[in-house]
C-alpha cells in the first residue's frame, strides 16, 4: 500500500517552524509502516485518533523517523518496570537507548493524533500479542492478514472493528419511561439434588472435566442465597426477582411475592427438548418469562452487588443498556477461531451473526458483571434467527452451534442497533476473583473490608486453592458482607430439615 504523502519540502519547512500537518504526519507514518510490512491494522476510533497495530520489529525504524521531528510531542510508554516518558524541547526520543526502544509498549504522537501499538510474536504460534493491555486487540494474527486492515473501531474499550465508518449512537424508537419497572433474572441449578443427578446421568452421562459437561459448571457453594441478599440490600428499586430452574427450589426458599421461581417448562416453547443442562439454551428463553419487564438485569449466581446502585448504573436515560466490555479479553476473529472452549465457539457464532447483520466485527468479550438487557432486543434476535435459536435450545449441553444470547450476542445487537451506552467500570467499581487462583483469593479480604459496586467470585478449572478451602473462605466472606436473612429465606435449621426430608 502506498498512501498519499504531502510534499517533502513542505513537510520540512513545517518541521523547522514547529508546525505539523496532521494528515501529512499520518501519511508519512503509514508509508513507513507500509515500507516495512504489508500486514498491519490502521483503526480510527470514535474521537478521530488513528491507531496503528504493528509488528514490534518496526520500532527502530520508527524512532529514526521521529528523530527527524524533534519538536513533535509524544508520550512513550514502556514495558514494566520502566516509567512512561513525555517528550518536550528538552527531552527527545533521540535520547532513548536501544534497550528503551525495544521496550516500548505504546507510543502516542499528540500532533498527529496517532497511537502506535507494537505486537510481539508468540513463540511457537502464528499470533502476535500486544505489549499494552489497553490495545484495541490483545492478540492479532498478522501472518494470515491478506493485507493492511484499514478501518474503524469503536467502544470503551474497543469492542468492534469495521472496514466502514461505524454509525453513531441512535436509540430513537427504543426509549422507555424513566419510572418503568426493572426486574432481575437468575438462572440456577442444584447439582446435589439426586433427582437432577439421575436426570443428568440419563440424558448426558457422567459429569467430567470436559469443556462441555464439566462438573465445575454445576457446583454450588450457596452463592445464590447471598447474591439475592446483595440485590435486595443494594438495589431496593428492583421490582421482581425471577429464579429460573429445572423445577428446583432452594431448600432455604419459602416463597415471596417479590422473589419467584420460574420453571424451564414455563419459558421453553418446545417442551420436548427438555431437560437441558446448557446455560446458553436456558438464557435464550429468558425473555419469555411471563410478565417480565422490558428492562431487566441478568445475574449469574456468582455475581454480587457490594454497594448501593441505581438504574443509571445499568441503563442510560433513554433506556439503552450500558455495555460492560473487557479490554483484557479482546481478540481478533482469527485468534478466537482457534479457541477450543464452548465460549469461544459461541463467540465465533456471535462474530458471524453480527458481521452478517450489521457489518461489524466483534473483538471483545463481556465482563462478568450483571448484564442489563432489553426484552424487545431478545425478541428481535429470536425473530431474526429462529433456526439457530431453536438449535441452541435443543442442545442439552453446550454445543459448537450455540448462540450465547445474553453473554455477547445481545450486547452486540444493542451496539449494532445504536442502542448503546458505554460503561467501563474502573477498578474501584468492579472486581473479578477466580476462586481457584491463589493470587486472586488474596484479594478477597480487601474486597470484604472495602466492597465495590459489582464483583464476581468465579469458579474455574484452576485448583491452586482446594475446593473445600474455597468454600470455607467464601462462606466466611458472605456472612460478613450479607449477614441478614431475607424475607424469602427459611432459617438454616428449617432448611436443613427440609433437605433431609426431601431426600429421604
Structure confidence at residue 220 as a pLDDT band (50, 70, 90)? low
**Is residue 12's pLDDT more than 90?**
no
Q: Assess whether 97 and 233 both reside in one domain.
A: no
Residue 269: inside a domain, yes or no? yes
Show which of 91, 123, 155 is a domain's final residue.
123
Q: What value does the mean pLDDT take over residues 379-408?
A: 94
- Average confidence score pLDDT of the chain: 85
How many Å apart are CA 288 and CA 11, to the nearest integer? 62
> Residue 494: what pLDDT?
57
366 lies in the same domain as 466? yes
- CATH number for the domain harbouring residue 344: 3.90.550
Residue-wise pLDDT tens digits, 374-392: 999 999 999 999 999 999 9
* Segment 463-504, tens digit of pLDDT: 899 888 998 999 999 999 999 999 999 876 555 555 555 555
Q: What is the tally of structural domains in the chain?
A: 2
Q: Is residue 44 part of a domain?
A: yes
Instruction: State the average pLDDT over residues 427-436.
Output: 85
Q: Are residues 398 and 283 in the same domain?
A: yes
Which pLDDT score, from 0 to 100, does residue 6 have?
A: 38
pLDDT of residue 428: 66
Per-residue model confidence as pLDDT tens digits over 82-139 = 788 787 655 678 888 888 888 999 999 888 899 999 999 999 888 899 999 889 888 8
Domain that holds residue 415: 182-502
The last residue of one of the domains, among 82, 98, 123, is 123
pLDDT in tens, 341-368: 777 888 889 999 999 999 999 998 888 8
Q: Are residues 112 and 189 both part of a single domain?
A: no
Question: Does 47 map to a domain?
Answer: yes
Closest CA to 415 of 158, 200, 240, 208: 158
Q: Round to whole Å and give the CA distance between 253 and 484.
A: 15
Indicate whether 486 and 379 sit together in one domain. yes
Same-domain status, 413 and 320: yes
- The pLDDT assigned to 13 comes to 43
Q: Please check whether residue 209 lies inside any domain of the structure.
A: yes
Among residues 19, 70, 68, 75, which one has the least CA distance to residue 49? 75
* Residue 146 placed within a domain: no
State yes or no: pLDDT of 191 exceeds 90. no
The confidence score (pLDDT) of residue 88 equals: 63
Per-residue model confidence as pLDDT tens digits over 245-299: 999 999 899 878 899 999 999 999 999 999 999 999 999 999 999 999 999 999 9
> What integer pLDDT is reported at residue 491 of this predicted model?
72
> Do residue 111 and residue 212 come from a single domain?
no
The answer, yes or no, to whether the previous bond of 484 is cis (omega within 30 of 0) is no
DSSP conformation letters of 199-252: HHHHHT-S-BSSSSSBGGGG---SHHHHHHHHHHHH-TT---EEEEESS---TT
User: Is 116 found in the same domain as 205?
Assistant: no
Q: In terms of domains, do 484 and 342 share one?
A: yes
Give domain status of residue 404, yes or no: yes
- Residues 6+ positions from 151 with CB-CB distance below 8 Å: 41, 42, 43, 44, 161, 162, 163, 164
CA angle 487, 263, 388 (to 5 degrees): 135
Do 245 and 347 sit in the same domain of this protein? yes
Q: Is residue 278 part of a domain?
A: yes
Residue 63 is assigned to a structural domain of this protein: yes
In a shared domain, residues 381 and 475: yes
The answer on 294 and 203 residing in a single domain is yes
Amino acid at each position: 500500500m502506498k498512501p498519499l504523502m504531502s510534499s517533502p519540502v513542505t513537510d520540512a519547512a513545517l518541521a523547522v517552524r514547529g508546525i505539523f500537518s496532521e494528515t501529512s504526519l499520518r501519511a508519512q507514518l503509514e508509508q513507513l509502516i507500509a515500507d516495512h510490512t504489508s500486514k498491519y491494522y490502521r483503526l480510527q476510533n470514535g474521537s478521530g485518533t488513528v491507531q496503528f497495530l504493528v509488528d514490534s520489529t518496526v520500532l527502530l525504524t520508527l524512532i529514526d523517523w521521529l528523530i527527524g521531528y524533534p519538536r513533535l510531542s509524544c508520550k512513550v510508554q514502556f514495558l514494566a518496570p520502566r516509567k512512561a516518558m513525555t517528550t518536550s524541547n528538552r527531552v527527545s526520543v533521540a535520547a532513548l537507548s536501544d534497550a528503551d526502544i525495544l521496550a516500548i509498549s505504546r507510543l502516542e504522537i499528540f500532533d498527529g493524533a496517532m497511537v502506535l501499538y507494537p505486537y510481539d510474536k508468540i513463540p511457537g504460534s502464528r499470533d502476535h500479542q500486544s505489549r499494552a493491555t489497553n490495545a484495541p486487540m490483545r492478540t492479532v494474527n498478522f501472518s494470515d492478514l491478506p493485507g493492511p486492515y484499514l478501518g474503524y473501531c469503536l467502544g470503551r474499550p474497543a469492542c468492534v472493528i469495521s472496514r466502514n465508518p461505524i454509525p453513531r449512537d441512535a436509540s430513537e424508537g427504543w426509549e422507555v419511561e424513566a419510572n418503568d419497572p426493572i426486574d432481575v433474572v437468575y438462572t440456577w441449578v442444584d447439582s446435589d439434588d439426586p433427582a437432577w443427578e439421575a436426570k443428568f446421568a440419563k440424558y448426558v452421562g457422567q459429569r467430567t472435566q470436559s469443556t462441555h459437561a464439566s462438573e465445575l459448571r454445576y457446583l454450588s457453594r450457596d452463592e445464590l442465597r447471598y447474591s439475592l441478599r446483595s440485590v435486595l440490600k443494594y438495589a431496593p428499586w428492583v421490582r421482581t426477582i425471577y429464579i429460573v430452574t429445572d423445577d428446583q427450589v432452594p431448600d432455604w426458599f419459602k416463597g415471596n411475592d417479590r422473589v419467584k421461581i420460574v420453571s424451564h417448562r414455563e419459558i421453553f416453547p418446545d417442551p420436548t427438548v427438555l431437560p437441558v443442562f446448557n446455560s446458553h439454551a436456558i438464557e435464550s428463553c429468558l425473555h419469555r418469562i411471563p410478565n417480565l419487564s422490558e428492562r431487566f438485569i441478568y445475574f449469574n449466581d456468582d455475581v454480587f452487588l457490594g454497594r448501593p446502585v441505581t438504574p443509571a448504573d445499568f441503563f442510560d436515560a433513554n433506556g439503552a443498556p450500558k455495555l460492560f466490555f473487557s479490554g483484557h479479553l479482546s481478540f481478533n476473529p482469527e485468534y478466537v477461531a482457534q479457541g477450543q472452549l464452548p465460549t469461544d465457539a459461541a463467540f465465533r457464532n456471535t462474530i458471524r451473526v453480527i458481521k452478517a447483520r450489521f457489518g461489524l466485527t466483534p473483538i471483545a468479550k463481556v465482563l462478568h458483571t450483571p448484564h442489563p438487557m432489553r426484552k424487545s432486543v431478545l425478541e428481535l434476535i429470536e425473530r431474526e434467527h429462529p433456526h439457530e435459536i431453536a438449535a441452541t435450545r435443543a442442545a442439552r449441553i453446550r454445543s459448537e452451534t450455540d448462540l450465547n444470547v445474553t453473554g455477547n450476542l445481545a450486547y452486540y445487537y444493542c451496539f449494532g442497533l445504536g442502542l448503546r451506552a458505554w460503561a467501563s467500570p474502573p477498578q474501584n467499581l468492579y472486581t473479578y476473583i477466580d476462586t481457584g487462583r491463589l493470587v486472586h483469593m488474596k484479594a478477597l479480604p480487601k474486597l470484604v473490608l472495602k466492597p465495590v459496586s459489582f464483583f464476581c467470585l468465579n469458579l474455574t478449572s484452576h485448583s491452586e486453592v482446594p475446593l473445600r478451602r474455597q468454600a470455607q473462605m467464601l462462606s466466611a466472606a458472605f456472612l460478613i458482607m450479607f449477614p441478614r436473612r431475607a424475607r424469602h429465606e427459611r432459617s438454616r435449621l428449617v432448611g436443613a430439615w427440609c433437605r433431609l426430608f426431601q431426600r429421604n
